[in-house]
């Protein structure tokens, strides 16, 4: 039998609660998800929206218990986790509302045109669910990207059952979320087998290999994502794998911006960089400043003053200390602020390392993500140097520039370069904080994600778990209801090239 998992308080390093048995096999849950798939797929959009609202209401009803347990396992703080749960329930509601319009179905009808050359048949296309989806929970957002987070909301909105792999750092939180979501689905009158959770390393591997699973979503490390992506590709029937892996999130401050508000930028950077102990996928890991900026002391002081939570687990803490030591040991680097292990079990202090931008020109040694409250301050000589080094950065979720005016020559040169390497470009702002909106894109070129075309945040994330099917010259009696001529479900669609509501 697999080993049981224990909850550990990051602040004390002490295990608490009853052991959570690791799943001996994922097959029972994946087969149940396969059995639940047809009924979930057959739901009308309005029915599916109602189901997602029921899940949101159930999570809200158990807010106190969920937040308390998530805080005990993550150390992220009650205020942060209440906000995260509100964001999560808001996603369920928003994705449900989007599904209700029929927009994810992308219904397109082209009527027959027998007099065209060549004659055109009647064609009707819509999107259908892929089938059961494997969701791999992240530790740094136990509610927003956990077993009942954005990937689960998107998959259910698409009509796909979910089998989620709990993160080993939060097994009890995952169990409580599983109980809450499953009960909500059952009370709504839907098949409770549409959602399940597995725990343990082997169960996670079994999940990606299981033939009942038709797609997978993952948020985590580059190494973990690569391993799972390889498993997804090596299956007899390969499946789509949507991984969010790593990002440096470069921020460029122009000389004009520094002259205008240099002190404020130092404080804002310190706040963003240490938010959540730097355990955000959108943490600004690279700060580009012009030579002679004179902000080193202000940056070090601003970062030093920030109180950071303990790291999520011992492994992450040890990796953080090793990574910062490795970066500081680079011949061109020097420490502005050295990290030290904190007095508490998984606690650390922030780190800040300086180097010339020329050090990354043709050398990727410094261009690796350090998960935690650490960042690299790179000084650039001129626009030409930025134009040379920015294209060498690995793909990222975000890229930001701080400017004084829209005529700023450095900003004009930098913006298109950041757009080439990022999924979201930010002006006079910071990458932490990801709005859940229709226009949001939380993705980017490798290694930020395994598929830069898709987002894992916002209603567009539903699209990952759908595929198109076209019906040609099919009698209406045999068509899905959503493709009927009179639009009985009042769904959004495009008919003969024109959008209808």
For 491, phi then psi, to 5°, come to -100, 155
**On the CB side of 88, how many CA atoms lie within 13 Å of its CA?**
29
Cβ neighbours, 10 Å, residue 271: 14
- How many other C-beta atoms lie within 10 A of the C-beta of residue 267? 17
Q: Which of 329, 278, 270 is nearest to 140 (CA)?
A: 278
Does residue 276 sit in helix, strand or coil?
helix
CA dist list (Å): 326 to 51, 248, 353, 369, 492: 49, 16, 11, 12, 54
Beta strands in 327-408 (DSSP E): 334-337, 351-356, 374-380, 396-402
How many angstroms separate the CA atoms of 475 and 470, rounded? 13
Of 389, 402, 395, give the one whose Cα is nearest residue 356.
389
**Which of 60, 231, 76, 207 lies closest to 148 in space, CA to CA?**
60
- Please give the positions annotated as active site: 244, 281
Strand partners, 113: 120
């Amino acid at each position: 039998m697999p080993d049981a998992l224990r909850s550990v308080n990051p602040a004390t390093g002490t295990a608490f609660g009853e052991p959570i048995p690791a799943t001996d096999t994922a097959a029972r849950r994946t087969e149940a998800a396969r059995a639940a798939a047809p009924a979930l797929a057959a739901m009308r959009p309005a029915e599916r929206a109602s189901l997602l609202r029921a899940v949101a209401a159930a999570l809200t009803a158990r807010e106190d218990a969920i937040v308390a347990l998530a805080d005990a396992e993550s150390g992220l703080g009650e205020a942060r986790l209440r906000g995260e749960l509100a964001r999560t329930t808001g996603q369920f509601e928003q994705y449900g509302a989007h599904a209700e319009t029929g927009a994810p179905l992308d219904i397109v009808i082209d009527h027959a045109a027998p007099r065209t050359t060549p004659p055109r048949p009647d064609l009707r296309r819509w999107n259908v669910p892929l089938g059961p989806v494997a969701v791999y929970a992240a530790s740094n957002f136990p509610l927003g990207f956990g077993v009942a987070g954005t990937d689960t909301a998107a998959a259910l909105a698409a009509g796909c059952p979910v089998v989620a792999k709990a993160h080993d750092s939060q097994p009890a939180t995952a169990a409580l979320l599983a109980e809450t979501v499953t009960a909500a689905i059952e009370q709504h009158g839907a098949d409770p087998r549409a959602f399940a959770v597995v725990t343990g390393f082997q169960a996670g591997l079994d999940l990606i290999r299981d033939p009942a699973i038709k797609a997978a979503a993952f948020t985590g490390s580059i190494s973990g994502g690569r391993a799972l992506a390889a498993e997804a590709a090596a299956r007899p029937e390969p499946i789509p794998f949507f991984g969010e892996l790593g990002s440096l999130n470069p921020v460029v401050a122009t000389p004009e911006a520094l002259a205008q508000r240099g002190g404020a930028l130092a404080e804002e950077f310190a706040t963003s960089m240490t938010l959540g102990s730097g355990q955000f996928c959108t943490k600004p890991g690279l700060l580009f400043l012009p030579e002679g900026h004179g902000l080193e002391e202000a940056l070090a002081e601003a970062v030093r003053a920030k109180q950071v939570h303990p790291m999520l687990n011992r492994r992450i803490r040890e990796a953080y200390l090793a990574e910062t030591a490795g970066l500081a040991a680079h011949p061109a680097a020097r420490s502005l602020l050295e990290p030290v292990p904190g007095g508490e079990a998984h606690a650390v202090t922030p780190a800040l390392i300086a180097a010339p931008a020329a050090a990354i020109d043709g050398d990727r040694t410094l261009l690796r993500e350090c998960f935690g409250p650490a960042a690299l301050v790179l000084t650039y000589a001129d626009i030409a140097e930025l134009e040379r080094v920015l294209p060498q950065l690995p793909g990222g979720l975000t890229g930001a520039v701080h400017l004084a005016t829209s005529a700023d020559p450095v900003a004009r040169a930098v913006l298109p370069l950041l757009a080439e390497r990022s999924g979201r470009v930010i002006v006079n702002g910071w990458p932490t904080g990801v709005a859940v909106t229709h226009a949001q894109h939380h993705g980017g070129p490798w290694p930020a994600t395994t598929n830069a075309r898709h987002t894992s945040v916002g209603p567009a994330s539903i699209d990952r778990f759908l595929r198109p099917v076209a019906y040609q010259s099919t009698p209406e009696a045999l068509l899905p209801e959503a493709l009927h001529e009179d639009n009985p479900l009042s769904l959004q669609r495009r008919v003969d090239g024109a959008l209808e509501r």
